[in-house]
Amino acid sequence: MANRIAIALNALADPTRRTIFERVGAGPGAVGEIAAGLPVSRPAVSQHLKVLKEAGLVTDTPDGTRRVYRLDPRGLGALRDWLDRFWGDQLSAFKDFADQQESPE
């Protein structure tokens, strides 16, 4: 699982890829729709989508002659579980800190 998380984080490290990921997160779309208004070519967007798909962050389904991309909840779930560990640790540390402080009264 750690390798899967590393692959997902590496995929999201690229700013253009993050923008594409966010567009897919706003709603499913084909490459042409996702690429609209981006400063990169449609083939470049396709390559970024391929990396996101290999990282388990997006999935695609055929729709006639095009493919429609959407977020993959399995990959997002694994990434969220990993991040939630840190969030839980930080909340526990904050609680411990707050419990150790003297009451202002």
pLDDT digits (tens, 9 = 90+) for 27-61: 999 999 999 999 999 999 999 999 999 999 999 99
Which residues, in sequence order, are CB contacts of 75 under 8 Å at separation 6+?
4, 8, 55, 56, 57, 58
Of 4-13, 29-38, 94-103, the poorest mean pLDDT is in: 94-103
Would you state the structure tokens that stand for residue 52, as one six-digit string?
């996101």
Q: Answer yes or no: is pLDDT of 104 > 70.
A: no
How many angstroms separate the CA atoms of 12 and 80, rounded? 14
Q: Looking at residue 101, what is its pLDDT?
A: 86
- pTM exceeds cut of 0.75: yes
Using the 8-state DSSP alphabet, how is residue 39 labeled? S
Which residue type, as a one-letter code, is found at position 60?
A: D
Domains belonging to the chain, first-starting first, are 2-94 (1.10.10.10)
Identity of the residue numbered 78: A
Pick the more confident residue, 91 or 63.
Answer: 63
